[in-house]
């Protein structure tokens, strides 16, 4: 079981954390809401919880809670540029269908 970052995502996360000046890593998660049932969470982590699973990818700590991991196993977080827009994208093999916006999905 694992969750990884692409090199580009890892580089950007490191940059953002350096500018933010604190934090141990990033948290990937899911919660039930959104137009297709589930929604992604992407946050900075200042403290991990006891039951959190921590992966290390390209030098960045990736924190996932056990419930979310079931939906995220095998996911690679990528950083992409689309025209002027740029940001993170979840490449999640578990997803059956996603809403058009990409912010929520179904497994």
Partner 1 sequence: MALLHIAEPGQSTEPHKHRLAVGIDLGTTNSLVATVRNGIAVCLVDEAGRAMVPSIVRYHPDGTIEVGRSAAAAHATDPRNTIMSVKRFMGRGLNDVAHVESMPYDFVDAGGMLRLRTVQGVKTPVEISAEILRVLAARAEASLGGELTGAVITVPAYFDDAQRQATKDAAKLAGLNVLRLLNEPTAAAVAYGLDNASEGVYAVYDLGGGTFDLSILKLSRGIFEVLATNGDAALGGDDFDHRLFCWVLDKAKIAPPTSEDARRLLMKAREAKELLTASEEAPIKAGLATGEQVNLSVTRDEFAQMTQHLIQKTVAPMRKVLRDAGLAPEDIKGVVMVGGATRMPHIQRAVAEFFGQEPLTNLDPDKVVALGAAIQANVLAGNRKEEDDWLLLDVIPLSLGLETMGGLTEKVVPRNSTLPIARAQEFTTFKDGQTAMAFHVVQGERELVSDCRSLARFELRGIPPMAAGAARIRVTFQVDADGLLSVSAREMSSGVAASVLVKPTYGLTDDEITGMLREGVDRASDDMHARAVREQQVEADRVIEATTHALEQDGDLLNADERAGIDAAIAELRRLVSGDDPRAIKKGIDALSRVTDEFAARRMDKSIRTALAGQKVDEIQV
Contact residues toward partner 1 (CB under 8 A) are: 12-13, 16, 19-20, 26-27, 29, 33-35, 39-47, 80, 82-90, 99-104
Question: CB 67 → partner 1: shortest distance, Å?
Answer: 15
Here the tokens at position 53 are 């699973």
Largest distance between two CA atoms of the chain: 40
Nearest-approach distance from CB 100 to partner 1, in angstroms: 7
Closer residue to partner 1 (CB): 47 or 97: 47
Give the CA angle between residues 80, 3, 52 to the nearest 5°.
125
With CA atoms as reference, report the closest residue to 90 among 58, 99, 61, 47: 99
Q: How far is the CB of 61 from partner 1 (least distance, A)?
A: 13
């Amino acid at each position: 079981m694992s969750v990884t970052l692409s090199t580009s995502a890892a580089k950007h996360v490191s940059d953002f954390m350096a500018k933010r000046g604190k934090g141990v890593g990033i948290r990937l998660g899911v919660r039930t809401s959104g137009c297709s049932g589930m929604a992604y969470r992407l946050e900075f982590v200042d403290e991990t919880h006891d039951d959190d699973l921590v992966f290390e990818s390209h030098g960045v700590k990736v924190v996932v809670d056990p419930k979310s991991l079931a939906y995220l196993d095998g996911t690679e977080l990528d950083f992409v540029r689309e025209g002027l827009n740029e940001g993170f994208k979840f490449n999640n093999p578990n997803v059956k269908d996603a809403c058009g916006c990409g912010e929520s999905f179904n497994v």
